[in-house]
Structure 1
Amino acid sequence: AIQQAHFSTLPTLGENFGHAIFEGLLAGLPVLISDRTPWRGLEAREIGWDLPLEQPEAFVRAIQQAVDMDQETYDRWSRKAWEYARDFKNDPALLEQTRALFV
């Protein structure tokens, strides 16, 4: 199912990490999420939008931007989403922090 998607959405009330968000990015899907997660500054990176739930019009604008996106722009955002997730996953500091949780 995720292979057939173009975007991933999770307008959540809150996430401590947001594994579904990370999975979307790792699949190369730009994400449309609320601003109540650790995943912030997405639009500036061209990997999605993190928007306030109190502003539904912002979600409408982002959805319209996604619908209107040409193929070249979408391909760039998709590539950047995957690269961002890949770099996050391969960050040695993240690996050490994860190990520290279990040691």
Structure 2
Amino acid sequence: MTPESSVKREALQRPELLFPHLTADKYYVVDVGYPNTKGYLTPYKGQTIRYHIPEFQRGQSSAMHAPRGPKETFNYHHSSLRNIIERAFGVLKARWALLRDMHVNYTYEH
């Protein structure tokens, strides 16, 4: 079990943490450290499937840049969305030092 999935499991099992439960039409966009379960969108995995934006930018022609197939297309959009989310958190942390200096320690049992 990955640390990410352990934190997720802990958050879901402890109602006092008030972790927001998803409705049927909502999803969390998560990285490959999370299991692909209902309500959690993870990218496709595989040796030949690209995910990170720089992987799509390598190559000499625009044809080499384009996603190859539906899995890479999904991964490209997933990675683009995660980049936007991470930049938004960066902007918020730059604006409000409280968020930047916040240290939350989650403990979990193995």
TM-score calculated relative to the size of structure 2:
0.31
Question: Rg larger in 1 or in 2?
Answer: 2
Structure with greater helix share of residues: 1
**Which protein has greater RCO, CA pairs closer than 8 Å, 6+ apart?**
1
TM-score calculated relative to the size of structure 1:
0.32
